[in-house]
Amino acid sequence: MTTIPRCKPQLDPEFVPAVLWNRAYQASVNKAPDRREIRIAVDRPEGSTWVYETGLLPESEDSAPSTYKYCERIVKFLLWAWGGSRVRISNAADVVEHLQEIYSVNGKRGFDYEFMGASCFNENFTIQNAEHAEIQEAHPAPTGRIDSFQLKGNRIGFDLGGSDRKCAALIDGKVVFSEEVKWNPYFKSDPAYHRAGIEDSLMRAAAHLPRIDAIGGSAAGIYISNEPRVGSLYRGVSREDFQTSIRPLFHDLKHKWNDIPFEIANDGDVTALAGAMAIHDSAVLGLSMGTSLAGGYIHPSGAITGWMNELAFVPVDYREGVAKDEWSGDDGCGVQYFSQQAVSRLLPLSGIELSEDLGLPEKLEIVQAKLMQGDERAAAIYRTIGTYLGYTIAHFADFYQFRHLLFLGRVSSGAGGEIIMQEARRVLSLEFPELSKTIAFQTPDEKTKRHGQAIAAASLPKID
């Protein structure tokens, strides 16, 4: 499957945008008289199911390589966007057999097999054949809405970051207390450190309220059913202590606070919720380009979907053997295109030579300084990221319904962020003009950046 983008990234002209490859494959499918209609279901143990419908070329030796690649990349995207431990596919037994080999302990996607199975959902990951009619969606109850009633009552909202804890107290939506407290959770091995810090922030906020009706929180990582399943904040905690002390942490806190409504969500989703509240609209996809790429999503209904939205690990470039993610070992995933890692990867291509001893934040700071000095090489890095982004926005639009793109993170700050947005808009206008007309770029103001996260988190629980 060959595609030639009209806009080639300045420093990476061989880039193969996922959206163009997928659409080229689908153009072939639409011409095939015996095309196959399939459904791909992603299931979770508690009963949630999300379904993606698409078409495939007829089964043949000639079409197999492109069909297998198309399906593997789509399944990979759905797993990290939605999250689940079982994939069911209808009308494509050949594809299922191929994917079962890839997504296995010793397969090419062994990392994803273990992560989506044991790490997140405590069961073996499986890919299965299914009857077309039996694949139906089953959604969990949504949490967090932008409706104003969701801030009624006496609420506490908190946000757990890698360097500070933010906490706010609200009465009927009015902030009566807001505070940041420094902490250093990353390499603390004792789970008691994490619990004590969170309890301290909650008590500080509670002192400013006559009573507590609900508590909501956000933190980096994967949170399912109010449990952290994977989280960078707890990287210093042993696996055993994580299972026994960290996973039940927020259930324990809820019980301690008299079982009032208590919800915690991924910080990407809560950031998107804060952005939606700021613009008084829904259908928001949030992208935060920092050390990694964080994602968050607010459905057009105004609700958080419960999806994982780990967009750092979804495929955006369909080349093989390039831009390999050091964590999962996969090629062409978002983290290598929209983060400080992307800037570091593009440095040699730009001609800027920096010591490999420098950390990612230091490299970014140097590139930002060079840009302010008018260095064209630094501008080329940002234009390249902007071209990536334009095509990837169109790719995300094939899976997410959004009218607003919330754009934030250290890579997006300053003049560099302006270049990225301008180039992304240029790509959309040239390649996807109809889509360009429907998407607005949003950047949070300083108030939203500093305390909007905790305020939005306070809206997560629903008070009956």
Do 127 and 210 lie in one domain? The reply is no
Where is average pLDDT lowest: 64-73, 283-292, 344-353?
283-292
Highest mean pLDDT among 98-107, 230-239, 282-291: 98-107
Q: Is residue 15 part of a domain?
A: no
How many domains does one find in the chain? 3
346 vs 355: CA distance, rounded Å: 14
Beta carbons of 273 and 263 less than 8 angstroms apart:
no
Q: What does the pLDDT read at residue 161?
A: 84
120 vs 266: CA distance, rounded Å: 14
Q: Is residue 58 part of a domain?
A: yes
Q: What does the pLDDT read at residue 96?
A: 98
Do 231 and 262 lie in one domain? The reply is yes
Which of 216, 251, 272 terminates a domain? The answer is: 272
Do 313 and 240 lie in one domain? The reply is no
Which of 227, 244, 272 terminates a domain? The answer is: 272
CATH number where 340 lies: 3.30.420.40
Do 118 and 198 lie in one domain? The reply is no
Q: Is residue 103 part of a domain?
A: yes
59 vs 435: CA distance, rounded Å: 33
Name the residue range of residue 100's domain. 32-134
Kindly report, residue by residue over 46-62, the tens digit of the pLDDT. 999 999 999 999 999 99
Q: Is residue 354 part of a domain?
A: yes
Do 70 and 125 lie in one domain? The reply is yes
Average pLDDT over residues 170-176: 94
pTM recorded for the entire structure: 0.91
pLDDT at 196 over 90: yes
Where is average pLDDT lowest: 304-308, 348-352, 379-383?
304-308
Q: Is residue 369 part of a domain?
A: yes
197 vs 191: CA distance, rounded Å: 10
Do 313 and 349 lie in one domain? The reply is yes
Do 315 and 441 lie in one domain? The reply is yes
Which of 242, 272, 302 terminates a domain? The answer is: 272
**What is the DSSP code string of 77-123?**
HHHHHH--SEEEEES-HHHHHHHHHHSSTTSTTHHHHHIIIIIHHSS
Q: What does the pLDDT read at residue 149?
A: 46
Q: What mean pLDDT, rounded, does the chain reach?
A: 93
Average pLDDT over residues 351-375: 95
Do 61 and 190 lie in one domain? The reply is no
Do 97 and 119 lie in one domain? The reply is yes
Beta carbons of 160 and 198 less than 8 angstroms apart:
yes
Q: Is residue 17 part of a domain?
A: no
Q: Is residue 26 part of a domain?
A: no
From the CB of residue 351, how many other CB atoms can be counted at a distance below 10 Å? 11
Do 85 and 155 lie in one domain? The reply is no
Q: Is residue 14 part of a domain?
A: no
Do 82 and 189 lie in one domain? The reply is no
DSSP 218: E
174 vs 152: CA distance, rounded Å: 9
Plot region of 22 (φ>0 → left; ψ -120 to 50 → alpha; else → beta): alpha
Do 98 and 178 lie in one domain? The reply is no
